[in-house]
Amino acid sequence: MKRIDVQHHILPKEYVERLASIGITESYGQPFPKWTPERSLASMKKIGVDIAIMSISTPGVDLKDAQFAQELARFCNEYMAEVTQQYPGRFGCFAILPLPYVEDSLEELEYALDELKLDGVCLLTNYKGQYLGNEAFDKLFDELNKRKVVVYIHPTDPVGLYDPKLEIPNSLIEGPFETTRAVTNLIYTGTTDRCPDIKYILAHGGGTIPFLAWRIALSKYSKKEIRPSIFRMIHDF
């Protein structure tokens, strides 16, 4: 049985440079580390990973405007496709989409899956404060469902202000809670029921979902009916 790493974030030099050009030099409060495919292969050999599924993690590509997001997403997806060809059998990749721009994302999804033959998509938990499950993303999720896409969900920075003296990096505790917020919203809004053919992979062990699953299921006592998808997702997890 081969060991597959589905949370293998990459930082191509050109990606880091484009972010630096608009003043972004860190992710989740941590500076960007250096990365190359060769570094990944060395690490994979050391820990016994056969195949790594590449993805672009937070802060993603929506960092300036729609054109910037679209162009950066296209670069990242083509770059990952090139790496998989350069090292056959060692890498796969989840496409990055220029959300929250849904029409651009649908176009990029078609290109990434049909032309580049990528393995699925990576979605961040929220885009400008709109969480997965928001009706603004319904058209995209309908297409993901139609195509039976593998969707890997990774947390990003939440929107909002905190106590200025609370100097805890978001990577420590907000990440798991972000995953929980997004997935709970997907269930609570009925997106997972409406789109049952999407296959989800959740980062970091599903955040706090295993601990909070019972509480999330209490939605049957609220104004909304219990969503059977929560039991399916927990079983799959």
Indicate whether 134 and 237 sit together in one domain.
Answer: yes
DSSP 113: I
pLDDT of residue 171: 73
**Angstrom distance (rounded) from CA 103 to CA 97:** 10
End of a domain among 36, 71, 93? 93
Indicate whether 139 and 73 sit together in one domain.
Answer: no
Indicate whether 89 and 129 sit together in one domain.
Answer: no
Indicate whether 8 and 88 sit together in one domain.
Answer: yes
Indicate whether 130 and 235 sit together in one domain.
Answer: yes
- Characterise 89 by phi-psi region: left (phi > 0), alpha (psi -120 to 50), beta (else): left
Which residues neighbour 193 within 8 Å (Cβ) at sequence distance 6 or greater? Answer: 227, 228, 229
111 located within any domain: no
3 located within any domain: yes
115 located within any domain: no
| Average pLDDT score over residue span 97-126 | 97
30 located within any domain: yes
Number of CB atoms found within 10 A of residue 191's CB? 22
Indicate whether 76 and 175 sit together in one domain.
Answer: no
Alpha helices in the chain (DSSP H): 13-20, 37-47, 66-86, 102-110, 138-147, 174-188, 191-194, 209-217, 229-236
End of a domain among 93, 108, 139? 93
End of a domain among 93, 115, 134? 93
Mean pLDDT comparison of 98-107, 164-173, 176-185, highest-scoring range: 98-107
Which residue carries 């929250």 as its tokens? 100
Dihedral through CA 133, CA 134, CA 140, CA 141, nearest 10? 20
Indicate whether 18 and 87 sit together in one domain.
Answer: yes
φ and ψ at residue 224, rounded to 5 degrees: -100, 145
Between 51 and 27, the more confident residue is: 51
**Angstrom distance (rounded) from CA 121 to CA 144:** 9
Indicate whether 165 and 236 sit together in one domain.
Answer: yes
208 located within any domain: yes
117 located within any domain: no
158 located within any domain: yes
Indicate whether 85 and 132 sit together in one domain.
Answer: no
102 located within any domain: no
Between 226 and 25, the more confident residue is: 25
pLDDT of residue 46: 94
Q: State which residues form the domain around 82.
A: 1-93
**Angstrom distance (rounded) from CA 231 to CA 217:** 8
Q: What is the pLDDT of residues 71-109, one digit of tens each?
A: 999 999 999 999 999 999 999 999 999 999 999 999 999
**Angstrom distance (rounded) from CA 187 to CA 133:** 8
Amino acid at 135: E
Indicate whether 142 and 227 sit together in one domain.
Answer: yes
Mean pLDDT taken over the chain: 88
Give the CA distances from residue 121 to residues 74, 118, 150, 219, in Å, rounded to whole numbers and listed in that order. Answer: 13, 8, 6, 28
Q: What is the largest CA-CA distance in the chain?
A: 53
Indicate whether 89 and 140 sit together in one domain.
Answer: no
Which range among 83-87, 123-127, 190-194 shows the weakest confidence by mean pLDDT?
Answer: 190-194
**Angstrom distance (rounded) from CA 149 to CA 130:** 21
Q: Name the pTM for this structure.
A: 0.87
| CATH code for the domain in which residue 193 is found | 3.20.20.140
Q: At what angle do helices 66-86 and 102-110 cross, to 10 degrees?
A: 20
Split into its structural domains, the chain has a count of: 2
**Angstrom distance (rounded) from CA 200 to CA 121:** 10
